[in-house]
Amino acid sequence: MSQHYYISPRFIDKLAVHITKNFLDIPHVRVPLILGIHGRKGEGKSFQCELVFERMGIEAVHMSSGELESPDAGDPARLIRLRYRETAEMIRVKGKMCVLMINDLDAGAGRFDERTQYTVNTQLVHGTLMNIADNPTNVQLPGSYDSQPIHRVPIIVTGNDFSTLYAPLTRDGRMSKFYWEPNREDRIGIVSGIFHGDGLSSGEIEQLIDTFDNQAIDFFSALRSRIYDEQIRKFIYDIGIDRVSSRVVNSKQGPPKFETPNFSISRLIEFGELIKAEQQRLELSGLAREYNQVPSLTSPASNTNTNTNSNSHIPTPDQPQANHKAPLSNPVISESTSPKVANGLNQCQIGQHNGSKKPLDLGLDLETQEQIGELLAQGYRLTLEYGNERRVKNNAWKSGNPLPENNVSEAIAALTERLGEHKGEYVRLIGIDTKAKRRVIEKIIQRP
């Protein structure tokens, strides 16, 4: 399988070192049992693992995130122990390297927000993996005890956001972390493997990558599959849509054969734009995000004449959210203008000019200044994130230093200064609840 596919040198190096080190007995060296491979969706983490396993002659026993929950308490934890012992037995019987691989661990065991149900099984899965990492040769099944040590089994886990896992599981003594983000050389190699035999030159491969430089690796695999749609559509209507089932399933004529389609670069770009448009329509719908919205943290502001309710903040489609973060279904500070700042904070505290109560004239709108006051008054930490257009599309924002916490005017002044330092970039205001360790607001306050 791997003869036409590209394996990243960085990827194979990380896996080979981790797996080999777990099969060696190095005196006075503590080797983490688990290797956590994380990164954004669709970058080929699992597939690269399979290629490395094949290259090294390693057998893998697989588990998926769907097996980490059950109606019966304790079942997933028992299954992990069972699969681990089975893998150890394979090593003993076959005399070759074997690994236990758990795909999308964060999807099955991660806690994304207050809506994610945190069950007994979730706790037991974390506890079991921690126990195995600490005692890799003494893994027992419930109800039985075997005093004979078993073989140590390296565990490979993949996921998008390991910050959603129980923190002690991811500590360095138990888990080595590897963030997989293919560079340009990796992308060229992987995409060349996807289109191997389709007649594309290296220059055309690079042109295709540059045209869709913000897309993940699975985009190009989907693009190649999309090229076959016309032939399949022609096949369906040639034989009749009512006869497709009998022709494709258990047909005496054998499976249908298709000619190699036209893989010209212009055609690939045309179909790529169609797939890209479908992605954008999905992002623009935002129905689930709106459906899951919860009320704002800001209490309804009132004055002597009116009572105004703060609206829930629903992020707009041009405010991308990090893939590794939960959707903003956490309570967030409203982006609607509050007629009065919470907790008695008035505009005198925000700034005065010649004795009159006016917001600081520092290029920030009144709404943002009021929100800063609200956030600081409630004890939240404020920081900024920056990014050019490409980083924003990839949800790869750069983090900045926190803003001053003691004085609203100082915070706004520091914010304005940093906006000037990052002209031509997107700037996002972040409010963090340090006690709950979660974000309460993400708001883009500057666009190029």
- Token pair, residue 199, equals 């007649």
Contact 283, 392 (CB under 8 A): no
* Domain range for 440: 364-444
Closest by CA position to 114, among listed 308, 291, 328, 309: 328
CATH for 392: 3.30.190.10
Of 266, 288, 310, the residue that ends a domain is 288
- Give me the helix-helix angle, 45-56 and 9-22, nearest 10°: 60
Mark whether 106 and 191 lie in a shared domain: no
Q: Is the same domain home to 282 and 394? A: no
Q: Is residue 348 part of a domain?
A: no
pLDDT of residue 56: 95
Asked if the structure places residue 319 within a domain, the reply is no
Question: Can you give the three-state secondary structure of the chain, one letter per residue?
Answer: CCCCCCCCHHHHHHHHHHHHHHCCCCCCCCCCCEEEEECCCCCCHHHHHHHHHHHHCCEEEEECHHHHCCCCCCHHHHHHHHHHHHHHHHHHHHCCCEEEEECCHHHHHCCCCCCCCCCHHHHHHHHHHHHHHHCCCCCCCCCCCCCCCCCCCCEEEEECCHHHCCHHHHCCCCEEEEECCCCHHHHHHHHHHHCCCCCCCHHHHHHHHHHCCCCCHHHHHHHHHHHCHHHHHHHHHHHCHHHHHHHHCCCCCCCCCCCCCCCCHHHHHHHHHHHHHHHHHHHHHCHHHHHCCCCCCCCCEECCCCEECCCCCCCCCCCCCCCCCCCCCCCCCCCCCCCCCHHHCCHHHHCEECCEECCCCCCCCHHHHHHHHHHHHCCCEEEEEEECHHHHHCCCCEECCCCCCCCHHHHHHHHHHHHHHCCCCEEEEEEEECCCCEEEEEEEEECC
- Domain match, 196 and 171 both: no
217-227 and 184-194 are packed helices; what angle lies between their axes, rounded to 10 degrees?
20
CB contact set of 246 (below 8 Å; sequence gap of 6+): none
Would you say 103 and 109 are in contact if contact means Cβ atoms under 8 Å apart? no
Residue 304 placed within a domain: no
**61 DSSP β-pair partners:** 100
Cβ-contact 154, 17 below 8 angstroms: no
Say whether both 159 and 229 belong to one domain. no
Query: Which tokens go with 163?
Result: 């910050």
Q: Are residues 235 and 167 in the same domain?
A: no
The reply to whether 157 and 201 lie within a common domain is no
Mean per-residue pLDDT pooled into runs of 10, the chain (448 residues) = 79 96 92 94 93 95 89 88 95 95 89 66 90 93 85 95 90 94 93 91 94 92 91 90 89 85 91 90 69 47 38 40 38 36 37 41 71 85 87 80 83 86 88 81 86
**Count of structural domains within the chain:** 3
Q: What is the CATH number of the domain that holds 202?
A: 1.10.8.1070
Strands lying side by side in the sheet with 426-433: 398-399, 381-387, 426-433, 438-446
144 and 216, same domain (yes or no): no
Are 237 and 257 part of one and the same domain? yes
Q: Please check whether residue 202 lies inside any domain of the structure.
A: yes
Do residues 205 and 24 touch, judged by C-beta distance below 8 A?
Answer: no
- Asked whether residue 300 is assigned to any structural domain, the reply reads no
| 155 and 24 part of one domain | yes
Residues 37 and 139 in one domain: yes
Q: Which residues contact 259 (CB under 8 A, 6 or more apart)?
A: 231
* In-domain check, residue 344: no
Domain assignment of residue 129, yes or no: yes
Q: Among the three residues 288, 313, 333, which one is the final residue of a domain in this structure?
A: 288
Please return the burial class of 120, using the count of CB atoms within 10 Å of its CB with bins 0-12, 13-18 and 19+. exposed
| pLDDT value of position 144 | 80
Classify residue 67 by burial, with Cβ atoms within 10 Å: 0-12, 13-18, 19+. middle
Co-location of 164 and 282 in the same domain: no
The whole-angstrom separation of Cα 132 and Cα 79 is: 13
Last residue of a domain, one of 255, 288, 321: 288
Q: What is the CATH number of the domain that holds 77?
A: 3.40.50.300
Token representation of residue 95: 């005399």
Q: pTM surpassing 0.75?
A: no
Token pair of 92, please? 């003993």
12 and 136 belong to one structural domain: yes
Domain-located, residue 1? no
